[in-house]
A and B are shown apart, each in its own frame.
Chain A
């Protein structure tokens, strides 16, 4: 069955060629849902541009006809962000898959939207940090998350994605350096140093206009090239692990350890998230099992550097134990340790660890929250989750210092069963509602979370967000419905 309108289809075909546009439901259905509870919505067309000019022409057409356009690469955002609320054109950017540049001296890469984690990590590993031909070490890395390796690096990074270097460097959108964007009204703009020369190394010291396109979930423009900082791979790495009796105890330890800024990452997972796969439906934790497990990844240029970090870590653990923090010595199995350092991962990215045998649904209240609120919210979330028959598979991760970190609950559910879908959605929305007053903010928020955010937001904030959206996208064609204000 075909959808949409023949004239629009013909115009899209003229722009990208007939093999790269379709209005057949057979081709549209994989774009109509994602992993989450988001209600399926059929787009009317899918189009796969290859060039910036093609994107401009599609956007001109979409503006003229007032057709929604949804930027899309792999739809693994776990927020229903690519589900076309009002139908329209899915702009699948996978064909724009060039790594345009890797500068091993100034240490940045420039990529197109379709570049996957698989592609970029392979290319960076094969490039050595150097100066005037003298190589210093082997390979570069970026902040790799636990996503499917086929997912877009660009789509992740511009939406405040997180990776394995967060403890050391901050979240991935803090590591961006330049960008090229096609505005909803089809003009092409460059932001950052690339606006002045072919050097894509920094946004600073210019006004931070990149903020108009980061965290906006494809509602303000199409980012067509992205510069990102890349980092030399440190040859020595270790994973140190510990467990704790409660969320409070593990938070105390994490806050103390991250104080020294010595790790690449420090993360804690509740007993339920430590189960592979996450138990679904909810099951009680054995009484004697720790409530939280934590790993921290340390890295260095020499074994001595690593040894120093190990010593400091042990000191933190001893001091915490001495002051009564209930830490429990616990060694992660080797395989689990490897899973923390060998990213991106084919296995973890495949959702196997989270969502096996439960009916295909996966979502999260994925949030940034001040660490102070972690234990308080964990107890609240746990109560909410258990009430809805779900496992509180919670994760805390520190982001570069004392300011904030991740609080999220990976949630499998059964898509075969409408009750299960509803329970999962209700639980997660309730968690978000409970968290906002305590400083918690959901990332890549599904529409339901966005509505919660908007209801609680400062009126001026919503006013400005709406004004910016209207200014950039006067016909509201870009991923409409996702901001909850238009």
Chain B
């Protein structure tokens, strides 16, 4: 049986044909597994497969089969194809399991498939269509006005920020319009720690939602706009508190494909991108932070997919948590590279609210099973979805971002 490239009109996908063809259909990506000295890790990691069951939804094998089917003309576009494509959160757990040559291209393949779907006469989730139709004006996917973007920032702080600084704090859309407490805690924390930073008056969405949902054409102007910000502010880097912004700025803006999109948008040169948690870890290591209080709680940490599997930042948040007086850090069974997505990513929260919430409820239950009283993370988007699940399930857990834990109890040494 041969799977030849017959449909070259699917340009984005056809470019990946040689990589997609390397998928052997082995199915390793459908379930999380690793051998360990005393025990084996074994758990379902694919949120999409966990919900929709069929092989089309489980891991990258199903999507690779769809891609091969479309490219070889063995499958035609349909609403069902679109449903499979858009219910994947892009969490990357399948990519973690795969070891063949398709591995680095898996997430890019998902996005290329979605980019092709937009050009077909198939049902794109209404929620995604809605924000996509206004993001060009609003510069955010929350249907909020662009001019209100900095409303989270009290004028007292706003006026105290320098015009030029080493870093730009890139708050991102979620912290700017929804989890404002995270953005506020971040600037207060950075000020306390005497970090040389400012906040841009003209930040646009980092383009993560656009890239993750395959809207390359729309994404272009966002990437081009944000790339210019450091020069305007004389900054050499971005600080983010959002895992999604971190992934996008540090990889999509800066790396060759398949990790990044510099093939489409050019490269953001000479700009450092750090997540707040990395900055804090570095300062702790240098002895620049003093704790003025404690956080006496049993805490469990949820790895955001965009910081964890996408960018391999696993230890910095844990090292910071362990350094906080009073924190008793306990792990969920699924952690680090084998973490389970909160269910919000890849456009799923906007496109399939119920399924997204159902997924985060699964994660909340797992967090509860550790005996922790606090669930923490490093992403306002995960914060939102997990908090909604905590409320829905009436969980006793309290959700806080690590910056919110840190801000009241630190000072610069």
A residues within 8 Å of B by Cβ? 1-2, 19-20, 22, 24-27, 29-40, 46, 48, 74-76, 92, 94-95, 116-119, 121-122, 125-126, 148-151, 342-347, 349-352, 355-362, 414-418, 420-421
A362 to B1, CA, bound (A): 11
**Chain B residues within an 8 Å CB radius of A421:** 1-2
Determine the chain B residues whose CB is within 8 A of the CB of A360 once the complex forms.
Answer: 3, 21-25, 100
Contact A352 B99 (CB under 8 A): yes
Provide the main secondary structure of the chain B interface: loop
Is B30 positioned at the interface, with any CB of A under 8 Å from its CB?
yes
Interface residues of B in 13-32 (CB under 8 A from A): 17-18, 21-28, 30-32
Known contacts A30-B61, A150-B30, A355-B24; A345/B35 CB under 8 A:
yes
The smallest beta-carbon distance between B40 and chain A, in angstroms, is: 4
A351–B100 touching, CB < 8 Å: yes
Is B98 in the interface zone, CB < 8 Å from A?
yes
Partner of A35, one of B24, B34, B76: B24
Verify B40–A125 contact, CB threshold 8 A. Answer: yes
Q: Which of B1, B5, B31, B84 contacts A26 (CB 8 A)?
A: B84
Taking CB atoms, residues of chain A closer than 8 Å to B65 are 29-30, 32-33
* Residue in B18, B24, B78 whose CB lies within 8 Å of A24: B78
**Size of chain B's interface in residues, with CB distance under 8 A?**
50
Q: Which 6 A-B pairs have the closest CB atoms?
A: A350-B99, A24-B80, A352-B99, A118-B33, A118-B42, A26-B80
Chain A's closest residue to B56 (CB) is A27
B267 to chain A, nearest CB (A): 27
Given contacts A27-B84, A29-B65, A37-B1, contact A344 B25 (CB under 8 A): no
B75 touches A (CB below 8 Å): yes
Known A25-B76, A29-B56, A346-B33; contact A351-B1, beta-carbon cutoff 8 A: no
- Cβ distance B70 to chain A, nearest Cβ, rounded Å: 9
Q: Which of A34, A126, A150, A361 contacts B39 (CB 8 A)?
A: A126
Which chain A residue lies CB-closest to B38? Answer: A125
Residues from chain B with Cβ under 8 Å of A344 in the complex? 33, 35
Report the minimum CB–CB distance from B53 to chain A (whole Å).
6
The one of B3, B30, B42, B84 in contact with A121, judged by C-beta atoms closer than 8 angstroms, is B42
Report the bound CA distance from A343 to B34 in whole Å: 9
Q: Count chain B CB atoms within 10 A of each CB in A150, A345, A421 and give the residue with the most.
A: A150
B256 touches A (CB below 8 Å): no
Our pick among B3, B31, B74 for the contact of A118 (Cβ within 8 Å) is B31
Of all chain B residues, which has the CB nearest A90?
B55
CB distance from B236 to the nearest CB of A (A): 39
- B positions within 8 Å CB-CB of A: 1-5, 17-18, 21-28, 30-35, 38-42, 52-57, 61-62, 65-66, 69, 74-76, 78, 80-81, 83-84, 97-101
Q: Which of B17, B22, B32, B81 has the most CB of A within 10 A?
A: B22
B24, A25: Cβ atoms closer than 8 Å? no
Residue of B nearest to A418 (CB): B2
* Contact residue among A2, A19, A416, A418 (Cβ-Cβ distance under 8 Å from B53): A19
Q: A131 → chain B, closest Cβ, in Å?
A: 23
A sample of 13 inter-chain contacts (CB < 8 A) reads A26-B75, A29-B65, A29-B74, A35-B26, A48-B53, A118-B40, A150-B27, A346-B28, A350-B99, A359-B21, A360-B25, A415-B1, A416-B4
How far, in angstroms, from A119 to B42 measured CA to CA in the complex?
A: 6
Knowing A1-B78, A19-B53, A22-B54, the reply to whether A149 touches B26 (Cβ < 8 A) is: no
- Chain A proximity of B43: nearest CB distance (Å): 8
* A417, B1: Cα distance in complex, Å: 9
Which of A30, A37, A421 has most B Cβ within 10 Å?
A30
Q: Is the CB of A29 within 8 A of B69?
A: yes
Query: What residue in chain A is nearest B59 (Cβ atoms)?
Result: A150
Whether A40 and B74, one on each chain, are in contact in the complex, defined by CB atoms closer than 8 angstroms, is yes
Contact check, A150 vs B2: say whether CB atoms are below 8 A apart: no
Other CB < 8 Å A-B pairs besides A116-B42, A350-B99, A351-B100, 11 of them? A25-B80, A27-B84, A35-B24, A148-B28, A150-B31, A342-B35, A343-B35, A352-B100, A360-B24, A415-B3, A416-B3
Cα separation A34 to B25 with both chains bound (whole Å)? 6
Question: Which chain A residue has the least Cβ–Cβ distance from B35?
Answer: A342
Given the known inter-chain contacts A122-B39, A149-B42, A349-B28, please indicate yes or no for A415 contacting B21, CB distance below 8 A.
yes
State whether A362 and B24 are in contact (beta carbons under 8 Å apart), knowing that A26-B78, A26-B80, A356-B101 are contacts in the complex. Answer: yes
| Residue contact B53 to A26, C-beta cutoff 8 Å | no
Contact call B21/A150, Cβ cutoff below 8 A? no
User: Which residues on the B side are within 8 Å of A414 (C-beta)?
Assistant: 21
| Chain A residues within 8 Å of B74, by CB | 29, 32, 40
Report B-chain residues with C-beta under 8 Å of the C-beta of A19: 52-53
Q: How far is the CA of A352 from the CA of B39 in the complex (A)?
A: 23
Cβ contacts under 8 Å, A24 to chain B:
78, 80
Cβ of A346: which chain B residues have Cβ within 8 Å of it?
28, 33-35, 97, 99
Are A74 and B30 within 8 A (Cβ)?
yes
Instruction: Give Cα distance in the complex from A344 to B42, angstroms.
Output: 11
Minimum CB distance partner of B61 in chain A: A30
Q: Are B28 and A351 in contact (CB under 8 A)?
A: yes
Cα–Cα, bound, A299→B368 (Å): 41
How distant is the Cα of A31 from the Cα of B74 in the complex, in angstroms? 13
Residue of B nearest to A23 (CB): B80
Q: Are B54 and A33 in contact (CB under 8 A)?
A: no
Q: A31-B55, A121-B40 in contact; A417/B99 too (CB < 8 A)?
A: no
**Residues in B neighbouring A25, C-beta threshold 8 A:** 69, 75-76, 78, 80
Specify which of A2, A33, A116 is in contact with B1 (CB 8 Å cutoff). Answer: A33
Give the distance in Å from the alpha carbon of A116 to the alpha carbon of B75 in the complex: 29
| Bound form: Cα–Cα A360–B105 in Å | 14
- Residues of B close to A116: CB separation below 8 A: 31, 33, 42
A350 touching B28 in the complex, CB below 8 Å, given contacts A46-B54, A48-B54, A415-B21: yes
Q: Which residues of B contact A26 (CB under 8 A)?
A: 56, 66, 75, 78, 80-81, 83-84
| Residue pair A35, B25 in contact (C-beta under 8 Å) | yes
